Structure 1
Amino acid sequence: MFKHTLTGFVRSVILLAALFVALPAAAADRTLLILGDSLSAGYGVPTETAWVQLLRQRLVDRGLEHWDVVNASISGETTDGGARRLPDLLEKHRPDIVMVELGGNDGLRGFPPDVIRANLTTMITESQKAGARVVLVGMQIPPNYGQRYTEAFAGLYPSLSDRYGTALVPFFLADIYNHDELMQNDGIHPTEAGQPRLLENVWPVLAPLLEASETARR
């Protein structure tokens, strides 16, 4: 009799263990999709110190571990590449928020502003059609590209944000690009020390959207 009772107990323990394994460690029921280039892919810095990983840790620290941060950033990505990849990402992840951090590589390659605008518009509108809130991350390029081009490029982000009602990070590299100790030798990518500042440039814009999404889903 004792043997049968013990056998039943062991089976119950195994069943309970299987149920716990089947459940996720943290029920991530909201998704933030980051569609960016090398600045968000963590080029030249350890993965655990890149700004996106710092964001994940901040969410956990603030009791928002149910947010899944999907980093779909690729070094060298352009707005054209992002626009091509986005539909599959939207279908797969069904994000609540989409952060579009693209355009820097387009500007450095001298792509026409109208082409960049069209691609950014596509990403914004497709994300909104999928029910996601959009954060547009603004960029600027060096003045050696000429005043006319640099101003046209920088103006893309606020004008698109105004037109489509997105949240806007005015300049991703604000208070970073002008500090040599925070920039890698290429003058393009922030160092490990610059990663927390990237997060601080994003957080004041992102935090209200996280809060609004929390409220809407209650």
Structure 2
Amino acid sequence: MIRFASFTRRALPLLLLLAAACGSDAQDSRGADRARTLFDEPSSGVAAPVAATPLPGDAPKVVFLGDSIGAGLHLAEHQAFPAVMQARLAADGSPFELVNASESGRTTSGGVTALDWVMRTDPDVVVIELGGNDGLRGIALEQIESNLRRMIERAREGGAHVLLLGVRLPPNYGEYGASFDALYPRLARELDVDFEPSFMRDVGGVPSMNLADGLHPTAMGHERLADNVLPSLRRVLRAAAAD
């Protein structure tokens, strides 16, 4: 197991930033469940299906299992990148039913817990966008990998195709961060799962693409996330349709 003795020293500025963000969450008109930062605990609820227009009966069902990034924290539902991709594919004549089951504060352990509900919705595709909260908290890499593996295998056992989104930590996380970053591509290779290596590229760490907290993307940032993920989602949807 990789030791992360300096985690508290490195994370303190981030924790202070998150604490400040939490102080402003009470003003979020969408309520406490939608006003959480990365370290907040998720609520017990799961989002309902998102569908702006009627869908054909054979439209595939895509469930996004994510954290505050997938949930589009502080934004309207239609601005979060899962809904942006749904709208783009609908405009292209390839509609899908979206269930955005993302929750602010969720870790990979929370994802394992939520997966039973997710699979009861009988999804065709499950998109996993989790691990950022684990990494920022310094959770053991073995536990993160085990949880991701369980989610992927459980979704496949239920007949769903899986798209894993790669998560990366800031460079100041040292050896732990490097091993964390390497975990996702290695696991994707081992399990032969569809994989988007860096869905946050050109968004993470770019001030103009993030809200004042420096952690959560703006509406423009979510448009860029959709740019990053959409090619992989198209590929997985084609594979699901061929089954």
- Fold similarity call, TM over 0.5: yes
Is the partner of 1:40 in helix, strand or coil?
A: helix
Is the partner of 1:107 in helix, strand or coil?
A: helix
CA contact (8 A) 2:55 2:97 kept: no
1:88 CA displacement: 2.1
CA distance in 2, matches of 1:36, 1:153: 17
CA contact (8 A) 2:203 2:209 kept: yes
1:37 CA displacement: 0.3
- May I ask how many residue pairs the two structures share in their alignment? 190
Partner of 2:217: 190
Residues 1:36 and 2:66 are matched in the alignment = yes
- Aligned ranges for residues 127-138 of structure 1 at < 5 Å? 127-138=155-166
Partner of 1:81: 110
In structure 2, the CA distance between the partners of 1:25 and 1:129, relative to structure 1 (3 Å rule), is closer
Partner of 1:17: none
Structure of larger gyration radius: 1
* Correspondent of 1:173 among 159, 178, 200: 200
Long gaps (5+) in structure 2: 1-53
CA distance in 2, matches of 1:152, 1:28: 41
How big is the alpha-carbon RMSD for the aligned residues of Structure 1 and Structure 2?
1.4
Is the partner of 2:199 in helix, strand or coil?
A: coil
* Correspondent of 1:200 among 194, 214, 227: 227
**1:118-143, CA deviations, whole angstroms, 9 ceiling, x for partnerless residues?**
10010010011111111111111112
Partner of 1:15: none
Long gaps (5+) in structure 1: 1-23
Residues 1:163 and 2:193 are matched in the alignment = no
CA contact (8 A) 2:205 2:214 kept: no
* One-letter amino acid matched to 1:140: R
* Correspondent of 1:62 among 74, 92, 96: 92
Partner of 1:4: none
Is the partner of 2:64 in helix, strand or coil?
A: strand
Higher helix share: 1
CA distance in 2, matches of 1:120, 1:202: 19
In structure 2, the CA distance between the partners of 1:213 and 1:56, relative to structure 1 (3 Å rule), is same
In structure 2, the CA distance between the partners of 1:107 and 1:165, relative to structure 1 (3 Å rule), is same
Partner of 2:138: 110
Q: Runs ≥4 in structure 1, deviation > 3 angstroms?
A: none
1:46 CA displacement: 2.2
CA distance in 1, matches of 2:226, 2:206: 16
1:26 CA displacement: 3.2
CA distance in 1, matches of 2:75, 2:177: 28
TM normalised by structure 1 equals 0.83
Partner of 2:127: 99
Identity of aligned residues (%): 38
* Correspondent of 1:26 among 49, 52, 56: 56
